[in-house]
Amino acid sequence: MKSNKLSLRILAVVFLMAFLNPFQARGQEKLVESYQAAVWFGVRDVNRDSFPNTENLDFLNYLYSDSEMSDYQYLGVSLHLCLRGNWEADIKFAMYDDFAPNNFSFSALYFPFKHIGFNAGFFSYPQLMNEFNMFHRLTDAGYYGDIDNNFRQRYVYESGIMAGPVFRFDYHSFHAFIKLNGGMSSISTFKEKVNQKEINTNKRREIRYSTKASPAFFFFPEAEFNIDLYKGAKTTVGLQALASWYTVSRSIDYTRITYTWEYDEEVNEDIINPKHGFKKVEASLGLYFRW
Amino acid sequence: MKHYLRILAIISIAFSIRVLQSCCSCGDEPIKFDFSSVIIKNLDNSGSYVTFTDANQMYSSAVAFEVSITGDMALVGNAMKDFSLASFAEANACECSTSYSPNQTIKDISITTLKQMSAETDSGMVVTSLFVTEVADGYLYEPLANAFERLNQEIYSDDPTAKLKIFCKENILNDTACFAVTVTLSDNTKITAETAKILLTASK
């Protein structure tokens, strides 16, 4: 929720600044030489390792992944600023069907050469984690694995900082960027609770999970292709296509406290889970306006 | 124009009556009562949620009861007539909820088994420590003594009764179970009730 509010504020400020153009100093060279705003529709497919159940709940087994269709669809807006002195800035926001702009990435690009530059930035996007309580329902024989009968679902946010080389190609109306990003990311920490009752007895148990930060190195190449469809005196309209691939290997480790009968009867454990391979492929198509 | 005035007058009268009706005041004074009896109901805690049951049958590890420490309704009724007949009538007219204030507090609850529970726990032994009750703000249990604070209220709404669900932590190694629950009040009065004779089925 906090992340949503923050994203909305950043989004509002960025677009306000862009349209009011406060960087244009009087009598001096423009700080922002050109703008490119875009709207696009994208799909995201997630592929993660799924391991057999062990004695410990592995939350990464419950990251949402659908083998039959793309896992997420989103609507995005972006702003690309070409700044003075070979600098560029790229700001992207996207939202799922809940219309919360909680997918975002910011990056700064510097081009010391015509076709080669450097990129650095950060990103964050949410993923669904569904029915992790099924672990307890399946493995805790003799117990009602989770007395909460609701569909248990939560968002986890993957956030990271990235940097890498950028290659740019321009040929008439065709423009392309290829970014070879790498960096470090982590999944947001969270707390969950599972209440259990032994079948045919009075015995009750409460299991509390508190996850730890899960920093891991990732590789994240991106490609962006733009084709100018209409060129006016000051404005250009074109078609934009983006594709990216993201790969990381990480585990979600946590502290587990198990209370049995009463809250002063507790067992505290630190659980280290195996690393899961995680891959994300994204593709999007949209329109851009450059001025 | 006359029609409008008449309709307006009728509506105004109707609303005025409703306003006057809503102005009646409920008596602030709660009805005083003495705790006088203990009523015990059987609970079925074999499933994921605890429910009431009329059957005198439980699993050996799921023995549970609801204990109600209550004021005698007849005595409460007399107290209401003697003490504040007018305010009671007024309260009824206003559809006020009735509140009750006990003359004593609950000092202790003691449970004695009337049947042998295991080789170590014979008939006649006090087994209070083998019973727990649900915590107010969580899923698990707590000792009975921890519940006295929330059990002792200054005011009981609608019903002069303090209720407590009790759960046995032991697996009872017998075919039957029966308990006596004794409540000690602040004026050292003791009130006792016995559970029904419970037929036990082995839990595992």
User: Which chain A positions have a beta carbon within 8 Å of B204's beta carbon?
Assistant: 200
- Residue boundaries of the structural domains of chain A: 2-290
Q: What is the pLDDT of residue B178?
A: 96
User: Which chain A positions have a beta carbon within 8 Å of B49's beta carbon?
Assistant: 147
Q: Is residue B68 part of a domain?
A: yes
Query: Per residue of chain B (204 residues), what is the pLDDT tens digit?
Result: 667 778 888 888 877 776 666 666 666 788 899 999 999 999 999 999 999 999 999 999 999 999 999 987 655 555 555 545 445 445 455 667 788 999 999 999 999 999 999 999 999 999 999 999 999 999 999 999 999 988 999 999 888 999 999 999 999 999 999 999 999 999 999 999 999 999 999 987
Q: Is residue B22 part of a domain?
A: no
Residue type at B150 in one-letter notation: R
Q: Is residue B102 part of a domain?
A: yes
pLDDT in tens, A79-120: 999 988 889 999 999 999 888 899 999 999 999 998 999 999
Q: What is the pLDDT of residue A282?
A: 94
Smallest Cα distance from A58 to chain B, Å:
24
User: Which chain A positions have a beta carbon within 8 Å of B138's beta carbon?
Assistant: 206, 263
The ranges of chain A with pLDDT < 50 are 1, 22-27
Smallest Cα distance from B169 to chain A, Å:
7
Q: What is the pLDDT of residue B124?
A: 95
Domain range for B165: 31-201
Q: What is the value of ipTM here, to two decimals?
A: 0.81
**Three-state SS at B20:** helix
Whole-angstrom Cα distance, residue A84 to residue A29? 8
Flag if A200 and B167 touch (Cβ within 8 Å).
no
Q: What is the pLDDT of residue A25?
A: 47
Q: Is residue B163 part of a domain?
A: yes
Residue A202 has its nearest CB partner, among B45, B138, B204, at: B45
Q: What is the pLDDT of residue A132?
A: 94
Phi, psi of B130 (to 5 degrees): -85, -5
Flag if B139 and A199 touch (Cβ within 8 Å).
no
Q: What is the pLDDT of residue B85?
A: 47
Q: Is A243 within 8 Å of A282 (Cβ atoms)?
A: yes
Q: Is residue B57 part of a domain?
A: yes
Whole-angstrom Cα distance, residue A205 to residue A114? 64
Counting the structural domains of chain B, the total is 1
User: Which chain B positions have a beta carbon within 8 Å of A195's beta carbon?
Assistant: 139
Q: Is B106 within 8 Å of B35 (Cβ atoms)?
A: yes
Flag if B138 and A144 touch (Cβ within 8 Å).
no
CATH number at B140 reads: 2.60.40
Flag if A201 and B48 touch (Cβ within 8 Å).
no
Question: 3-state SS of chain A?
Answer: CHHHHHHHHHHHHHHHHHHHCCCCCCCCCCCEEEEEEEEEEEEEEEEECCCCCCCCCCHHHHECCCCCCCCEEEEEEEEEEEECCCEEEEEEEEECCCCCCCEEEEEEEECCCCCEEEEEEEEEEEEEEECCCHHHHHHCCCEECCCCCCCCEEEEEEEEEEEEEEEEEEECCEEEEEEEEEEEEEECCCEEEEEEEECCECCEEEEEEEECCCCEEEEEEEEEEEEEEEECCCCEEEEEEEEEEEEEEECCCEEEEEEECECCCEEEEEECCCCEEEEEEEEEEEEEEEC
Q: Is residue B25 part of a domain?
A: no
Q: Is residue B16 part of a domain?
A: no
Q: Is residue B129 part of a domain?
A: yes
